């Protein structure tokens, strides 16, 4: 006897939809079949899609940055995520310089994350590291964080990691089985404006496309040369996506993985000139309308979608006059899938599921509907048209408010339990667990 059956839906498997029933036992998928079997509880997904739970590889819950802390903690952030169909997310430990600091930072984050209603993992974050790359990588893996995030910029706040160190990390990444996760902006280009009085309307000029493009191409060259495992976060510009496709298409998916975020597909820099433009400040910035169109055209150059969810209150965003006095980041976990589905249809599914799971060492536990995988599922209505009106984030505003979207998450299950059921939260604080990732090998 199975614990639960999700019946009569169109189940997404191997890139196609099948009219099947999914049977769950002990939190795992136990059978996927067109046969009718006995289960203690039956949930009808008649006519709806049954998708693997989404994996957001890039969120910042309770992020401490300068004098601010992002307002969604692991409880409110994970609830909001669950409403968006996200059953796994990857957050970051606070930036560390050494092996000794890493253990401490990891423990603190683990404690904070205990309230999550869905599963989670962490990237190890380094800033201006002092210990050797190999030692940092060994410690991160030992702690179950086989992905190491760094910044190529922010030298003014002592967070930059320099090229010689990055090159060594990339050289080691395949043989030591970890991923080098990079926030890529050229520090020299940005530095002259950073910390200066940049008004919000000049945000994208102060962090221009060329700063991203030049840095990404250099890193891609290093990854190709060393046959490494390089993951570029939050690609903001269409030109970057196009150039990757044309110059480094041969290593895409092998030695280079590209992530972008829904806001770079939906919004453009003109919002920064609005009276409420500060509400849209994030790094890297929104780009020109031309660039947004190019990014949409080169959607195939993007392997995963992450939200970079990092929300603040309206008051915190509106207070300062210049970009360095305003916390950077916006929310996004609740609507990311519908936003991308509205633009691209079912072609987005793998970028939220299988691709992320494979890139970050979670496959096949996560990211697929197969026997033996965790029963993380999303019931999705592909036909519903709806307006973004409210959310479950703690933030008191949403940049997507009023947008009409196509397709809506109806129900979300994590490890065989309903977290959101027919639009109602029915989850449990602390249901989520930490996912250890000790080794990641792409090839």
Task: Confirm or reject binding of residue 283 to ligand URP (CB under 6 A).
Answer: yes
Nearer to ligand URP, 229 or 311 (CB): 311
Task: Single out the segment in contact with Zn ion by CB under 5 A; choices: 19-27, 119-127, 264-272, 303-311.
Answer: 303-311
Binders of ligand URP: how many residues, by CB under 6 A?
8
Nearer to ligand URP, 154 or 418 (CB): 154
Q: From the list 48, 282, 419, 435, which residue makes contact with ligand URP (rule: CB under 6 A)? A: 282
Nearest alpha-carbon partner for 348 in 244, 430, 262? 262
Nearer to Zn ion, 207 or 224 (CB): 207
Nearer to ligand URP, 6 or 181 (CB): 181
Nearest alpha-carbon partner for 175 in 125, 226, 242? 226
Residues linked to residue 408 through DSSP beta bridges, in sequence order: 381
Task: Confirm or reject binding of residue 278 to ligand URP (CB under 6 A).
Answer: no
What residues have CB less than 8 Å from 430, skipping those under 6 apart? 114, 115, 116, 117
Burial class of residue 66 in the structure, from the number of CB atoms within 10 Å of its CB (0-12 exposed, 13-18 middle, 19+ buried): exposed
Nearest alpha-carbon partner for 190 in 122, 266, 268, 283? 283
Task: Confirm or reject binding of residue 308 to Zn ion (CB under 5 A).
Answer: yes
Q: Binds 282, which of Zn ion, ligand URP, none (CB < 5 to 8 A, cut-off by type)?
A: ligand URP
Task: Confirm or reject binding of residue 60 to ligand URP (CB under 6 A).
Answer: yes
Task: Confirm or reject binding of residue 308 to ligand URP (CB under 6 A).
Answer: yes
Binders of Zn ion: how many residues, by CB under 5 A?
2
Separation between Cα atoms, residue 265 and residue 289, nearest integer Å: 10
Separation between Cα atoms, residue 97 and residue 131, nearest integer Å: 7
Task: Confirm or reject binding of residue 216 to ligand URP (CB under 6 A).
Answer: no
Separation between Cα atoms, residue 390 and residue 396, nearest integer Å: 9
Binding mask 163-192 for Zn ion (x = CB under 5 A): --------------------x---------
Q: From the list 53, 329, 361, 427, which residue makes contact with ligand URP (rule: CB under 6 A)? A: 329
Nearer to Zn ion, 233 or 369 (CB): 233
Residues linked to residue 413 through DSSP beta bridges, in sequence order: 377, 418
Separation between Cα atoms, residue 294 and residue 315, nearest integer Å: 34
Smallest separation (angstroms) from ligand URP to the CB of 185: 9
Task: Confirm or reject binding of residue 183 to ligand URP (CB under 6 A).
Answer: yes
- The side-by-side arrangement of strands in the sheet containing 54-56 is 54-56, 86-92, 119-125, 147-151, 179-183, 230-235, 256-260, 304-305
Q: From the list 328, 373, 393, 395, which residue makes contact with ligand URP (rule: CB under 6 A)? A: 328
Task: Confirm or reject binding of residue 125 to ligand URP (CB under 6 A).
Answer: no
Nearest-Å Rg of the Cα atoms of the chain is: 21
Nearer to ligand URP, 58 or 415 (CB): 58
Task: Confirm or reject binding of residue 228 to ligand URP (CB under 6 A).
Answer: no
Task: Confirm or reject binding of residue 123 to ligand URP (CB under 6 A).
Answer: no
Nearer to Zn ion, 207 or 278 (CB): 207
Nearer to ligand URP, 66 or 372 (CB): 66
Nearest alpha-carbon partner for 203 in 268, 262, 258? 268
Task: Confirm or reject binding of residue 90 to ligand URP (CB under 6 A).
Answer: no
Q: Which helix (H) or strand (E) holds 105?
A: helix 99-113
Q: Is 209 helix (H, G, I), strand (E, B) or coil?
A: helix
Residue closest to Zn ion when measured from CB atoms: 183
Nearer to Zn ion, 61 or 299 (CB): 61
Q: From the list 29, 126, 271, 310, which residue makes contact with ligand URP (rule: CB under 6 A)? A: 310
- Return the C-alpha torsion angle 180, 183, 188, 189, nearest 10: 140
Smallest separation (angstroms) from ligand URP to the CB of 441: 26
Smallest separation (angstroms) from ligand URP to the CB of 67: 15
Q: Binds 328, which of ligand URP, Zn ion, none (CB < 5 to 8 A, cut-off by type)?
A: ligand URP
Residues linked to residue 180 through DSSP beta bridges, in sequence order: 148, 230
Locate 161 and state its tokens.
């990691």
Query: Around Cβ 46, how many Cβ atoms within 10 Å?
Result: 9
Q: Is 89 helix (H, G, I), strand (E, B) or coil?
A: strand
Summarize as ranges the residues that interact with Zn ion (CB under 5 A).
Answer: 183, 308
The residues binding ligand URP (CB under 6 A) are 60, 183, 282-283, 308, 310, 328-329
């Amino acid at each position: 006897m199975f614990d639960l059956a999700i019946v009569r839906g169109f189940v997404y498997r191997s890139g196609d939809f099948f009219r099947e029933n999914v049977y769950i036992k002990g939190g795992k998928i136990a059978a996927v079949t067109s046969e009718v079997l006995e289960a203690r509880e039956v949930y009808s997904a008649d006519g709806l899609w049954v998708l693997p739970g989404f994996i957001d590889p890039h969120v910042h819950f309770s992020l401490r940055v300068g004098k601010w802390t992002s307002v969604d903690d692991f409880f409110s952030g994970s609830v909001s995520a669950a409403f968006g169909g996200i059953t796994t997310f990857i957050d970051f430990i606070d930036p560390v310089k050494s092996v000794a600091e890493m253990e401490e930072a990891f423990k603190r984050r683990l404690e904070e994350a205990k309230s999550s209603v869905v599963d989670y993992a962490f990237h190890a974050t380094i800033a201006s590291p002092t210990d050797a790359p190999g030692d940092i990588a060994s410690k991160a893996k030992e702690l179950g964080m086989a992905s190491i995030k760094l910044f190529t910029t922010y030298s003014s706040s002592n967070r930059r990691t320099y090229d010689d160190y990055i090159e060594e990390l990339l050289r080691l990444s395949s043989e030591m089985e970890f991923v080098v996760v990079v926030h890529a902006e050229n520090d020299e280009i940005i530095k002259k404006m950073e910390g200066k009085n940049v008004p919000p309307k000049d945000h994208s000029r102060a962090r221009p496309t060329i700063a991203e493009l030049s840095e990404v191409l250099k890193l891609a060259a290093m990854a190709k040369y060393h046959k490494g495992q390089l993951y570029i976060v939050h690609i903001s510009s269409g030109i970057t996506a196009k150039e990757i496709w044309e110059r480094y298409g041969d290593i895409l998916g092998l030695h280079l993985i590209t992530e972008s975020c829904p806001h770079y597909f939906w919004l453009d820099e003109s919002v920064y000139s609005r009276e409420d433009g500060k509400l849209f400040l994030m790094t890297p910035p929104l780009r020109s309308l031309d660039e947004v169109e190019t990014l949409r055209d080169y959607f195939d150059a993007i392997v995963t979608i992450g939200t970079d969810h990092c929300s603040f209150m309206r008051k915190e965003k509106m207070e300062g006059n210049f970009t360095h006095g305003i916390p950077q980041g916006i929310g996004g976990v609740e609507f990311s899938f519908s936003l991308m589905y509205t633009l691209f249809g079912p072609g987005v599914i793998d970028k939220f599921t299988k691709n992320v799971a494979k890139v970050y060492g979670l496959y096949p536990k996560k990211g697929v509907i197969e026997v033996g995988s965790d029963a993380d599922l999303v019931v999705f209505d592909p036909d519903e048209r709806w307006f973004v009106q409210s959310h479950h984030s703690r933030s008191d505003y949403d940049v997507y408010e009023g947008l009409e979207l196509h397709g809506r998450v109806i129900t979300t299950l994590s490890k065989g339990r309903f977290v959101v059921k027919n639009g109602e939260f029915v989850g449990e604080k602390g249901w989520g667990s930490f996912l250890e990732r000790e080794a990641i090998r792409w090839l």
